C-alpha cells in the first residue's frame, strides 16, 4: 500500500498545453517535496512546501500544499518538451515528539510526463 | 561539483556475489540516506545516518544488507550473497537539519544481478 498516491500515472501532451498532477494521502505530512527524475539519474529536488495552503511558483510550475497537509498538486503552464520526465512527490512524516521529523521520505510512484513538440 | 556522488554508476554481478557501493554526500550535510528504486516505483527508504550513527533501518534492509558511515562523511552499502531480486537503482541522498526533508540525491548506482 502506497502512503502517497499520484495521478495520473502517465500523461502525454502537446507542447503549449497546461497540466496538473496530483499527490494524495490520508496521512498528514510535515512537508511535501516534489522531484523530477530523468531516466538513469537520481531525482532532482524542485520544491519543498511546509505550510498548509502554501503555494510556490517556479517559473511555469506552480506547487500547492493542501490545507490539511495531506495532499499536493503540481500545475505546469505552457508545457515544453524539456519538462518531460518522471515527477515524484515525497512526504516527510511527523515524529512522535511534537515538532520532530523522522528521517525517511515516503515517495509516490510518480507521474511520467511526455511533452511532444 | 559539490553535489552528492555515488560510485560505481553501474554494477553487474552474478547471483551469490557480494557488492559494495559508495556515497559521498554534500560536504556540510550530516544526514545521509539510502533508498532503493525499482522500475515503475518511487524510491523506497532503506536506512539513514546522522553523522556516524545509523538512526533508522527499514524492514526492506534484510540481514544481507549492511550500511556504514564510519567517520560521518562518506557511506558504504554492502549487499552480501546477492539475489536477482536485489536488481534495482540504489540511491543516496543527503540533507542538513533542520531542513531534513530537503534531501538531495546522487545519480544512483544501477545494480543488475544475473
A110: distance to nearest CA of chain B, Å? 6
pLDDT at A98: 46
For cell 537503482, what's the residue? B89
Q: Which of B8, B50, B101, B112 is most worth mutating to test chain A (most A CB atoms within 10 A of its CB)?
A: B101
Of B41, B55, B100, the CB nearest to A101: B100
What are the tens digits of pLDDT across the range B21-31?
999 999 999 99
What are the tens digits of pLDDT across the range B67-114?
999 988 999 999 999 999 999 999 999 999 888 899 999 999 999 999
Of A30, A42, A88, the CB nearest to B106: A42
Residue-by-residue pLDDT tens, chain A, 117 positions:
578 999 999 999 999 999 999 999 999 999 999 999 999 999 999 999 999 999 999 999 999 999 999 999 999 999 999 999 999 999 987 665 544 557 789 999 999 999 999
Residue A41's alpha-carbon distances to B6, B17, B85, in angstroms, are 11, 25, 20
Q: What are phi and psi of A62, to 5 degrees?
A: -120, 125
Contacts of B87 (CB under 8 A, 6+ apart): B38, B111, B112, B113
**Model confidence band, residue B36 (pLDDT cutoffs 50, 70, 90):** very high
Cβ atoms of residues A45 and B93 within 8 Å: no
Res B10 pLDDT > 80: yes
Share of chain B above pLDDT 70, in %: 99
Amino acid at each position: 500500500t502506497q502512503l502517497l498516491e499520484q495521478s495520473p500515472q502517465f500523461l502525454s501532451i502537446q507542447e503549449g498545453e497546461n497540466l496538473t498532477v496530483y499527490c494524495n494521502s490520508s496521512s498528514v505530512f510535515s512537508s511535501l517535496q516534489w522531484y523530477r527524475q530523468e531516466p538513469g539519474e537520481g531525482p532532482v529536488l524542485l520544491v519543498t512546501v511546509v505550510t498548509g495552503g502554501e503555494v510556490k511558483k517556479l517559473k511555469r510550475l506552480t506547487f500547492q500544499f493542501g490545507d490539511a497537509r495531506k495532499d499536493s498538486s503540481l500545475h505546469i503552464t505552457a508545457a515544453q518538451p524539456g519538462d518531460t520526465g518522471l515527477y515524484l512527490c515525497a512526504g516527510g512524516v511527523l515524529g512522535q515528539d511534537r515538532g520532530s521529523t523522522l528521517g525517511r521520505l515516503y515517495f509516490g510512484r510518480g507521474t511520467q510526463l511526455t511533452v511532444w513538440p | 561539483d559539490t553535489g552528492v556522488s555515488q560510485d560505481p554508476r553501474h554494477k553487474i554481478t552474478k547471483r551469490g556475489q557480494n557488492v559494495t557501493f559508495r556515497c559521498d554526500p554534500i560536504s556540510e550535510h550530516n544526514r545521509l540516506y539510502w533508498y532503493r528504486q525499482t522500475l515503475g516505483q518511487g524510491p523506497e527508504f532503506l536506512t539513514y545516518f546522522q553523522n556516524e550513527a545509523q538512526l533508522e533501518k527499514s524492514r526492506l534492509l534484510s540481514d544481507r544488507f549492511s550500511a556504514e558511515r564510519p567517520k560521518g562523511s562518506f557511506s558504504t552499502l554492502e549487499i552480501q550473497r546477492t539475489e536477482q531480486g536485489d536488481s534495482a537503482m540504489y540511491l543516496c541522498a543527503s540533507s542538513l537539519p533542520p531542513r531534513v526533508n530537503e534531501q538531495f540525491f546522487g545519480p544512483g548506482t544501477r545494480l543488475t544481478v544475473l
